[in-house]
Amino acid sequence: MAQANAQLGGSMVAIVTPMHADGSVDWDSFEKLIDWHIAEGTDGIVAVGTTGESATLGFSEHDEVIERTVELVDKRVPVIAGTGGNATDEAIRLTRHAKRAGADACLLVCPYYNKPTQEGLYRHFHAIAMAVDIPQVLYNVPSRTGVDMLPETVARLAPIDNIVALKEAKGSIERIHALIEEVGDGIDIFSGDDGTAMESMLVGGKGDISVTANVAPRLMHEMCAAAVAGDREKAEKLDAQLYPLHSALFLEPNPIAVKWALYQMGYIGPGIRLPMTPLADHFHEPVRDALKALELIQ
């Protein structure tokens, strides 16, 4: 059975890929971000997911982001590499590279655009698991992929040794309940929706792969730790502080707002790749207000 080099869970940041104004990757800012996250208590780094603009990175860039993440993290926290694709062979190729690069696990999104059946989803993930012996986290995000992997399909995949978790981003507590009832003893359930993450962990989820953690890593770590421990009072108090930020960071499609927020905080430059565009002017004030409320900017 594939084993992760470190336990996955808690607040795992879906880290942005910093870019210069011309769209090239800003490696200096990336190194500073990773060091900041680890100092602030982030429990894991998820590289080249949706927030990391995986859709617009070429193969060589995708590979390099994973390689550099592993190198910069230097085993201080687990590294989860985004290696999903809507072609099974492509996902296998990316996953093989991530294993060679030294990632602790891979995050595999449901195939997007081509809308496979539940049987197609099962065969896709089964094929990747059989091809690459590395811990794998499945990722269901129907709003982006156009397909919803149902709990019964997850249950078919859960007995596979190296499928260790599911990132569920449907944003439904009912779905989290169903998954934990169906597969909670077999694989871990992680939230992929910051707005419902606290409740997901309080009912049995083991962590959150988070956008909000990009800008408030310490607070997200503390909230996730409290929720996973079952401390509802503390978790609710912390999540109430975070909730305006959860909302503000999705005023436009991710990662538009979170990259703009980090730019305002001085951690990265303004770069983002087409077809994503900088945050619209009329959203600047609400995002800025959410940052100010947590004293993340003056």
Answer yes or no: is pLDDT of 157 > 60.
yes
- For this structure, is 139 an active site residue? yes
Band of residue 293 on the pLDDT scale cut at 50, 70, 90? very high
- State how far the Cα of 110 lies from the Cα of 181, in Å rounded to an integer: 21
Number of domains comprising the chain = 1
113 falls within a domain: yes
Nearest alpha carbon to residue 32 among 268, 226, 200: 268
pLDDT tens for each residue of 187-227? 999 999 999 999 999 999 999 999 999 999 999 999 999 99
DSSP designation for 19: B
Does residue 272 form part of some domain?
no
On whether residue 286 sits in a domain, the answer given is no
Whether the per-residue pLDDT at 5 is higher than 80: the answer is no
Give CA–CA dist 70/77, Å, rounded: 10
Report pLDDT for 147.
98
Contacts of residue 111, Cβ cutoff 8 Å, sequence gap at least 6: 84, 85, 86, 87, 88, 120, 121, 124, 145, 147
Q: For the stretch 59-97, what's the b/e string if a residue is b when 16 or more beta carbons lie within 10 angstroms of its beta carbon?
A: eebbbbbbbbbbebbeeebbbbbbbbbbebeebbbbbbb
Q: Is residue 4 part of a domain?
A: no
Find the domain containing 222 and state its range: 10-229
- Give 298: exposed, middle or buried? Use CB within 10 Å, 0-12, 13-18, 19+: exposed
Q: What CATH number corresponds to the domain at position 213?
A: 3.20.20.70
What's residue 6's pLDDT? Answer: 60
C-alpha distances out from residue 286 to 107, 164, 232, 247, 251, Å: 31, 38, 28, 10, 9
Q: 0.85 exceeded by the pTM? A: yes
Span 80-130, pLDDT tens digits: 999 999 999 999 999 999 999 999 999 999 999 999 999 999 999 999 999
Q: Please report whether residue 239 resides in a domain.
A: no
- From the candidates 32, 75, 167, 206, give the one annotated as an active-site residue: 167
Residue 2: pLDDT over 50: no
Query: Which pLDDT score is estimated for 1?
Result: 36
Catalytic residue among 99, 139, 170, 263: 139
Residue position matching structure tokens 């770069």: 271
User: Rounded CA gap, 138 and 19, in Å?
Assistant: 27
Q: Supply 98's token pair.
A: 């991530």
Model confidence at 139: pLDDT above 60: yes
Determine contact, residues 226/234, Cβ cutoff 8 Å. yes
Residue 280 is given by DSSP the state: P
The answer as to whether 22 is a domain residue is yes
Q: Classify residue 298: in a domain, yes or no.
A: no
Distances (CA, A) of 257 to 28, 54, 209, 249, 260: 21, 17, 17, 5, 5
CA distance 45 to 43: 7
Flag whether pLDDT at 4 surpasses 70: no
Check the annotation: does 209 bind a ligand: yes
pLDDT in tens, 36-89: 999 999 999 999 999 999 999 999 999 999 999 999 999 999 999 999 999 999
Mean pLDDT, residues 132-143 taken together:
98
Mean pLDDT of 123-142: 98
In a domain, 148, yes or no: yes
**How many angstroms separate the CA atoms of 227 and 249, rounded?**
21
